[in-house]
Amino acid sequence: MRVTFQEELDQLEATLQAEGELVLRALRGALNALVQQEGELADEVIAFDDEIDREYLAIEDGIQSFLARQTPVAVDLRLVLAILHINLHLERMADYCVTVAKLTKLVQGASPDPTLLEAFEEMGARAEEMIRVALDSFAARDMDAAESLVELDELIDRGNRRVVQHLLSLGRDPEQHEWGLRMIVVSRCLERIGDHAVDIGEQTAYLVSGEFREFTDASH
């Protein structure tokens, strides 16, 4: 039975949403591993990235095959291009989750700072919310929801700044110093996940309007 043009597009988008769900799972696992200082859970997150990579490659291959056989135009072409870009953003998010998991393993046995762990839980919750809003707004072609990601991202950015400020206030205990330096990278990973969610929102706006624009001015 021949798959129709629209069915192929629908399948690509469904696979993209499924990849997004896997990224959400990886993020939650990475955060739990960090807060609970669970090395085995961190290992699971690292291994789980292979499954996300398979979805990423399946979408890439699907798009190549689709474009080789079909000639999408107008909104259909924009949809294919948006899926291509969002696929990359999701894969990058998953890579940041792996980085958090690897850093968790490196600091096993250290004494974590409760204030920072609480901050990471909050930033992680914001990041999860942003991924959900990004995926849902794309599925619904909802530009207003996509643009709301900018305000949500500012909350993560503030959290990142608070983490850095708190780390600078810590004493010169060598163990705390090493742990803190690694936690700066964790904070940065969560902040970058938020940035990628905003990028997905920009793809939604592109799909709806036909014009690409950045939601924020990177020069400020």
pLDDT at 219: 38
Residues 155-177, mean pLDDT to the nearest whole number: 84
Look at residues 187, 183, 128, 126 and name the one whose alpha carbon lies nearest to residue 160: 187
Range list of H helices, the chain: 5-36, 39-69, 74-106, 114-140, 143-147, 149-169, 174-209
Residue 179's pLDDT band (cuts 50, 70, 90)? confident
Residues above pLDDT 90, as percent of the chain: 84
Residue 177's pLDDT band (cuts 50, 70, 90)? confident
Bigger pLDDT: 108 vs 43: 43
Q: Is 209 exposed, middle or buried (0-12, 13-18, 19+ CB in 10 A)?
A: exposed
pLDDT at 1: 45
pLDDT at 175: 67
Residues 156-162, mean pLDDT to the nearest whole number: 96
CA 154/CA 191 separation, integer angstroms: 9
- Per DSSP, the three-state class of 186 is helix
Look at residues 86, 94, 124 and name the one whose alpha carbon lies nearest to residue 206: 86
pLDDT at 2 over 80: no
> Chain-centre distance of CA 93, in angstroms?
3
**86 Cβ neighbours under 8 A, 6+ residues apart:** 16, 138, 200, 203
pLDDT at 133 over 70: yes
